[in-house]
Amino acid sequence: MILSDVIVVGAGLAGLRAALELNRYNVKVAVVTKVHPVRSQSVAAKGGINAALGNHLRGKYDSAELHAFDTIKGSDYLADQKAVLTMTSQGIDRIYELEHWGTPFSRTEDGRIAQRPFGGADFPRTCYAEDKTGHVLLHTLYEQALKFEAASERAEMKIYDEWFVTRLIVDKGAAKGVVALNINTGDLEIFSGKAVIWATGGSGRVFGRTSNAYISTGWGMCVPFYEGVPLKDMEFIQFHPTELYTNNVLITEGARSEGGFLLNCKNERFLANYEDSVKAMEMAPRDIVARNMQREILAGRGIKGKYLHLDLRHLGKKKILECLPNMRMNAIHFAGVDPIDEPIPVIPGQHYTMGGLDVNIYAESKIKGFFAAGECACVSVHGANRLGGNSLLETVVFGKIAGESAAAYVKEGAIDDTSAAFLNAVLREEDEKISRLLASKHDERHAAINCELGEVMDASAGIFREAQFMNAALKKVKTLKERYTYIGSISPGRIANFDLLWAIQLKGSLDLAEIILQGALNRQESRGAQFRTDFPMRDDKNWLKHTIATLKHGSIHLSYSPVDLSLYKPKKRHY
Amino acid sequence: MEKKKTKQFKIFRFNPKTDKRHYFDTFDVPYEAGMTVLQALNYIQRNLDGSLAYRSSCREGICGSCAMHINGKYCLACETQVIHVKGTVTIRPMAHLDIIKDLVVDMNPFFEKLKAIKPYLIPGDPDEGAERIQTQDERAYLNTLVDCILCGACYASCAVNGFDEDYLGPAALAKVNRFFMDSRDKADEQRLALVSDEHGVFRCHTLFNCQVVCPKNVNPTANIANLKRQIIARSLTVKFSKKGM
């Protein structure tokens, strides 16, 4: 058994930021992560991180309030407004802090942090480091974690990497730790603590065509869900307008913000033909651009009927090499296209999970001692559609807040009254589950089910949704869940058994798929990223509310909760 | 349906718990243009042999999980196109690191060396107020230096890491230069002192292996050369510019 004050699960930006905060409060912390910290999905974030620094020539009159308004409007008014303001106002200090810690941001001519315009924002407020912002931020936080880890004057902070969490331990209504499998030795261990912070990221791999890493399976969101933490607004899935046609690697929004054009087969900037994107064009928010792109493809104006072109040639070699070097290499590696000479073949694809574990502005959930931050959580600051550059901001702002809240919870005397017998029983249960799975002689393979799941989610829960298709999809997902109970023929042994890990995580993907479909089907309106062809209008009277999914006697139950509208009144969105 | 072409994969296998020695397994993988070596490994793991162990995450060359030895060169499996590999694709794990299973090696020694060089900004002034000013020219010195993804390809390719297990290695040394070159960092002497012993920069034989294999063009060789030059300059009366690299 590994003892700590707080267990942080996940070591991307939110998890590391939470751990650093706990260490500042002199609280002992164990960070448990299934991949080494720098392998987390945060590393793949590209375009930037938003804050109203006002460093751009056109940004002089920017403010946290205006940033909050843009975010709320972008969310199609489903974001909780005070939570958004918290993020945008604390965000400014978080960016300076990252700079102080060594983040190599790109610079303005007067040597300050450079900012670029991003979709849905009235001012250029997206701070960036070329097109590798997530990479430099994650490495900065990892470097600080190593520094904090080495500091001997404070309580211990230790990163346990390549430990896969199988269960959240909840005793008498309070979170008390996790059970985790050491991937490299096969040992199952209890991490016992007084509080748990969850920061396991998104769940893009529930879909087939996604920009997310292989590791974003959705298992991370499901582990607390199984123990009673509700999931909020899961039907809101962001589809990023520009992913490579070949394998869905992300082409940053920065490519459009630097001046790239989206073209159809007639070489036409088609966004001008749509009412909601005519003014902002390529800089309209992601939901609108993705939708209009899909409409073009469906109308037969795609290139070869399948994809669209993102043309950067007019930017010139110098600008592309200076501002978008990583994007260029990705286009070369994965599409065989050099954006300096040729347009990039792109399609919209799954990119971000707006919903997540239901937490409040203090990162607290309804389970005592359980906190969550980052993409796995839903505060909600993104509502029905996230603006580009706000996800990185959310990780560092709410990562810190989660750290503060957990530190306060521990210091206010959270009692450690969980008996060793209880913990050992939980460990035995988890151990038996794994042994049973390994011993299963059934022949359903996780890969086959996973592949079918991706296909059905792409087809029915994508950019355009309709009741009849979602009903069919729900049926299909239930069949897949049934088949999952016959999963087997898993490679034996526990050492570095990735076959086993994928098989376990598939359960999470399946459950999330059902929650997404249920939520989308119930919500008879179009808002932000959810577009119902059978209900094409936003319906504030009936649906300006959060979807809350809980588990009741093993089946998924949906209820609804109010949205905080205390700052701005909902209006129609135009860009 | 059109029948797909297949490619032969020869993959290093070893489970220290059950195998006396390593061996190679051969698999035939159907492929088409656009398939990467990492996707081929996924195919094998999902359809042919579930026990195959390898690390993977972002599949777009930024997380550093999947560095391995592919037909004579260390590279990222996710950035290697199957059609670009001639003949049979032979895959081995990274060298100089203990094998946990198949292509999964114990990266701890690599990260321990990173920890040893104080891999974080040491500024001269307190962390207060707005951002520190850094000119575009000063920032430009960090281009590519900050691109290291800690994949370990350079470490495995370095002959010196093979015979001196205390040698800090290309990635950690390049990281020293990344901070040394940062205008905000004020720990020049401390950083140089950390790398001037017999397991530091002067152990480097300037073989350029790390430069050749680095998937992000960090060019550790040049970084190490700059540190050597700086240390030597300090023992001479002649002054070199810090920006001489």
Query: What residues does each domain of chain B span?
Result: 5-105, 108-235
CATH of the domain at A253: 3.90.700.10
Q: Tell me what percent of the residues of chain A surpass a pLDDT of 90.
A: 97
Minimal Cβ distance to A100: which of B104, B106, B127? B127
Mean pLDDT of A543-559: 96
**CB–CB contacts below 8 A, A to B:** 165
A380 upstream amide cis, omega within 30 of 0 = yes
Query: Are B184 and A36 a contacting pair at CB < 8 A?
Result: no
pLDDT range class, residue A338, cuts 50, 70, 90: very high
CA distance B118 to A418: 39
Whether B48 and chain A come into contact, CB under 8 Å, resolves to no
Q: Does residue A215 form part of some domain? A: no
Query: Are A491 and B107 a contacting pair at CB < 8 A?
Result: no
A538 and A451 assigned to the same domain: yes
Query: Are A96 and B102 a contacting pair at CB < 8 A?
Result: no
Residues of B whose CB is below 8 A from A54? none
CA distance A481 to A515: 13
**Active-site annotation holder among A94, A167, A240, A351:** A240
- Maximum alpha-carbon separation in chain B: 75
Residues of A whose CB is below 8 A from B120? 101-102, 143-144, 146-147
Contact (Cβ atoms closer than 8 angstroms) between residue B37 and residue B90: no
Whether B149 and chain A come into contact, CB under 8 Å, resolves to yes
A253 three-state secondary structure: coil
Residues of B whose CB is below 8 A from A324? none
CA atoms within 13 A on the CB side of A513: 36
Query: Are B101 and A247 a contacting pair at CB < 8 A?
Result: no
Residues of B whose CB is below 8 A from A40? 57, 63
B residues 164-193 lying closer than 8 A (beta carbon) to A: 179, 182, 184-185
Neighbouring C-beta atoms of residue A288, cutoff 10 Å: 26
Strand partners, A530: A527
Amino acid at B209: N
Query: Are A215 and B130 a contacting pair at CB < 8 A?
Result: no
φ, ψ dihedrals at A447, nearest 5°: -60, -40
Minimal Cβ distance to A498: which of B53, B120, B128? B53
Minimal Cβ distance to A104: which of B54, B62, B146? B146
How does pLDDT run across A252-309, given as a tens digit for each residue? 999 999 999 999 999 999 999 999 999 999 999 999 999 999 999 999 999 999 999 9
Instruction: Return the pLDDT at A70.
Output: 97
Strand intervals (E) in A193-307: 195-198, 231-232, 237-244, 261-263
In CATH, the number for domain B108-235 is 1.10.1060.10
* Sign (positive or negative) of CA dihedral B148, B151, B157, B163: positive
A343 and A438 assigned to the same domain: no
Of A287, A313, A348, which closes a domain? A348
**Active-site annotation holder among A205, A256, A291, A527:** A256
With 0-12 / 13-18 / 19 or more C-beta atoms within 10 angstroms meaning exposed / middle / buried, residue B122 is middle
Query: Are B121 and A246 a contacting pair at CB < 8 A?
Result: no
Chain B, nearest residue to A244 by Cα = B60
Amino acid at A93: D
Contact (Cβ atoms closer than 8 angstroms) between residue A267 and residue A314: no
For residue A52, CA distances in Å to A45, A105, A323, B16, B151 come to 20, 15, 21, 54, 35
Residues of B whose CB is below 8 A from A489? 50
Tell me: ipTM over 0.90. yes
CA distance A342 to A458: 28
- Give how many domains chain A has, as a whole number: 2
Whether B63 and chain A come into contact, CB under 8 Å, resolves to yes
- Tokens representing A549 are 């999914």
Whether B243 and chain A come into contact, CB under 8 Å, resolves to no
How does pLDDT run across A141-184, given as a tens digit for each residue? 999 999 999 887 888 999 999 999 999 999 999 999 999 999 99
Of A348, A382, A401, which closes a domain? A348
Measured in whole angstroms, the distance separating CA B30 from the mean position of its chain's CA atoms is: 30
CA distance B202 to A498: 40
Whether B117 and chain A come into contact, CB under 8 Å, resolves to no
Mean pLDDT of A22-29: 96
CA distance A31 to A34: 10
Q: Does residue A210 form part of some domain? A: no
- Maximum alpha-carbon separation in chain A: 70
A431 and A340 assigned to the same domain: no
Residues of B whose CB is below 8 A from A147? 118, 120
How does pLDDT run across A214-262, given as a tens digit for each residue? 999 999 999 999 999 999 999 999 999 999 999 999 999 999 999 999 9
DSSP state of B135: -
Sheet holding B67-70, edge to edge: B23-31, B5-13, B89-92, B67-70, B73-76
Instruction: Return the pLDDT at B245.
Output: 54
The string of DSSP letters for A280-322 reads TGGGS-HHHHHHHHHHHHHTT-SBTTTBEEEE-GGGHHHHHHH
Q: Does residue A355 form part of some domain? A: no
A346 three-state secondary structure: strand
A142: Cβ contacts below 8 Å, ≥ 6 apart: A11, A16, A37, A38
Minimal Cβ distance to A249: which of B60, B101, B123? B60
Query: Are A146 and B61 a contacting pair at CB < 8 A?
Result: no
Which of A40, A112, A130, A214 to mutate: most B Cβ within 10 Å? Answer: A214
Domain of residue A478 covers: 427-543
Give which of A402, A432, A464, A414 is closest to A179, Cα–Cα.
Answer: A432
DSSP state of B46: I
The string of DSSP letters for B144-195 reads TGGG-----HHHHH-HHHHH-TT---HHHHHHHHHHHT-TTB--HHHHHHHT
Instruction: Return the pLDDT at B244.
Output: 55
Q: Are strands A531-532 and A261-263 parallel, antiparallel or unpaired?
A: unpaired
Query: Are A135 and B104 a contacting pair at CB < 8 A?
Result: no
Contact (Cβ atoms closer than 8 angstroms) between residue A449 and residue A509: no
Whether B108 and chain A come into contact, CB under 8 Å, resolves to no
From the CA of B149, how many Å to the nearest CA of chain A? 8
- Tokens representing A436 are 């049973």
Chain A, nearest residue to B104 by Cα = A496
CA atoms within 13 A on the CB side of B244: 12
CA distance A111 to A516: 45
* Sign (positive or negative) of CA dihedral A120, A122, A127, A131: positive
CATH of the domain at A521: 1.20.58.100
| Alpha-carbon dihedral B52, B57, B60, B61, rounded to 10 degrees | -80
Amino acid at B154: C
Contact (Cβ atoms closer than 8 angstroms) between residue A224 and residue A211: no
Q: Does residue A145 form part of some domain? A: no
Q: Does residue A325 form part of some domain? A: yes
Instruction: Return the pLDDT at B237.
Output: 67
pLDDT < 50 positions in chain B:
1
B79 three-state secondary structure: helix
Measured in whole angstroms, the distance separating CA A193 from the mean position of its chain's CA atoms is: 26
Residues of B whose CB is below 8 A from A213? 57-59, 63
Minimal Cβ distance to A447: which of B47, B59, B128? B47
A138: Cβ contacts below 8 Å, ≥ 6 apart: A12, A13, A16, A37, A38, A40, A42, A43
Chain B, nearest residue to A39 by Cα = B63
Which of B13, B55, B63 to mutate: most A Cβ within 10 Å? Answer: B63
Query: Are B135 and A107 a contacting pair at CB < 8 A?
Result: yes
Instruction: Return the pLDDT at B236.
Output: 80
Q: Are strands A308-311 and A261-263 parallel, antiparallel or unpaired?
A: antiparallel
Give which of B137, B136, B143 is closest to A114, Cα–Cα.
Answer: B136
- Tokens representing A16 are 């590391």
The string of DSSP letters for A128-152 reads -STT-HHHHHHHHHHHHHHHHHH-S
A240 is known as an active-site residue: yes
Contact (Cβ atoms closer than 8 angstroms) between residue A9 and residue A196: yes
Strand partners, A160: A32
Q: Does residue A454 form part of some domain? A: yes
Minimal Cβ distance to A135: which of B54, B62, B81? B62
Instruction: Return the pLDDT at A415.
Output: 75
CA distance A270 to A275: 11
For residue B46, CA distances in Å to A74, A108, A490 come to 40, 48, 10
Q: Tell me what percent of the residues of chain B surpass a pLDDT of 90.
A: 91
**Fold (CATH) for B5-105:** Ubiquitin-like (UB roll) (3.10.20)
Q: Does residue A572 form part of some domain? A: no
What is the pLDDT of chain A when averaged over all its residues? 96
Sheet holding A356-358, edge to edge: A377-378, A356-358, A231-232, A545-552, A555-562
Chain B, nearest residue to A186 by Cα = B100
Query: Are A214 and B57 a contacting pair at CB < 8 A?
Result: yes
Residues of A whose CB is below 8 A from B101? 184, 495-496
Whether B61 and chain A come into contact, CB under 8 Å, resolves to yes
Mean pLDDT of A6-22: 98
A256 is known as an active-site residue: yes
Whether B116 and chain A come into contact, CB under 8 Å, resolves to no
Residues of A whose CB is below 8 A from B31? none
Minimal Cβ distance to A39: which of B64, B134, B138? B64
CA distance B228 to B242: 12
φ, ψ dihedrals at B236, nearest 5°: -110, 170
Give which of B143, B170, B149, B156 is closest to B58, Cα–Cα.
Answer: B149
Which of B38, B112, B121 to mutate: most A Cβ within 10 Å? Answer: B121
A341 and A431 assigned to the same domain: no
Contact (Cβ atoms closer than 8 angstroms) between residue B64 and residue B152: yes
Instruction: Return the pLDDT at A575.
Output: 84
Minimal Cβ distance to B57: which of A146, A215, A250? A215
Contact (Cβ atoms closer than 8 angstroms) between residue A191 and residue A32: yes
